[in-house]
Amino acid sequence: MTMRAPATDLPIVLDNVTVRAGALDILDRASLLVGDGQPTVLIGPNGSGKTTLLRVAMGLLSPTLGRVTWGGRELSPPVRRAIVFQRPVMLRRSGADNIRYAMRVAKIPRAEWDARLHELLSLVGLAEMADRPARRMSGGEQQRLALARALARDPAVLFLDEPTASLDPAATKALEDVVRAVAARGIKVVMSTHDLGEARRLAGEIVLLHRGRVIETAPAAAFFASPRTEEARKFTAGELLI
């Protein structure tokens, strides 16, 4: 498969981004630089702004104030990006057909379909289930299928919004293994989770959000070993951050 290293869509830079909904700033002057390398993981409690920040970084939502650039460009979100939403919706067709559909939409040449389909299904461990109706698959299987479908587009940047939120430990491990494999291929992963363990296992860099603010950004090792802020200290100690 021709999965190339990220080129021009990085870095993704948020400069003082505010997203206002009514009287509330659901993102409050958030600044962030997402470069290449290991996954960038957004953590924070429910409602802290993770999904909103992802949507802004993907170019699906425009800031009320501030600006976002992709590889230095404004107003032109990444083309080679793919997204897996928290509750992916599958077509009422087989797993394989869901992936074929994504390849058609992404205009992947037909000559490459079979090889790519085969590789993606094995990557996510669904080779045996390719012909099953996607909507009959378990939650964990559908999450992995959603990931394969996203990868079918040959993205340089992959956004994942709480990809393991409702999965059990075995399904979580399976999905995390795929994320690691994807990152090892040079695809930039930007994901959210409210699972600290997952952040520890996957992150190159951690971004802690609280009430719409970017509280702390740090390499994962440093973040867990010596959190700089009170919020990060609480969060890493497993105390409730409300």
Ligand X SMILES: Nc1ncnc2c1ncn2[C@@H]1O[C@H](COP(=O)(O)OP(=O)(O)OP(=O)(O)O)[C@@H](O)[C@H]1O
Helix (H, G, I), strand (E, B), or coil: what is residue 230?
helix
Rule CB under 6 A: is residue 50 a binding residue for ligand X? Answer: yes
Chain-centre distance for alpha carbon 78: 14
Is position 194 an interface residue for ligand X (rule: CB under 6 A)?
yes
Rounded CA-CA distance 137/160 in Å is: 20
Which of the listed partners (Mg ion, ligand X, none) does 210 bind, with a CB threshold of 5 to 8 Å by partner kind? none
Helix residue ranges, H only, the chain:
50-58, 95-105, 113-123, 139-151, 169-184, 196-202, 220-225, 230-236
Is 51 a binding residue for Mg ion by CB under 5 A? The answer is yes
Query: In terms of C-beta density within 10 A (0-12 exposed, 13-18 middle, 19 or more buried), how is residue 160 classed?
Result: buried
Residue 18 touches ligand X, criterion: CB under 6 A: no
46 contact, one of Mg ion, ligand X, none, CB 5-8 Å limit per kind: ligand X
Cα atoms found within 13 Å of the Cα of residue 26, Cβ hemisphere only: 18
For ligand X, give the closer residue by CB, 122 or 229: 229
> Is 47 near ligand X (CB under 6 A)?
yes
Choose the stretch contacting Mg ion; rule: CB under 5 A; options: 47-55, 89-97, 117-125, 131-139: 47-55
Q: Give min distance, CB of 51 to Mg ion, in A.
A: 3
The residue nearest Mg ion at its CB is 51
Q: Which residues bind Mg ion (CB under 5 A)?
A: 50-51
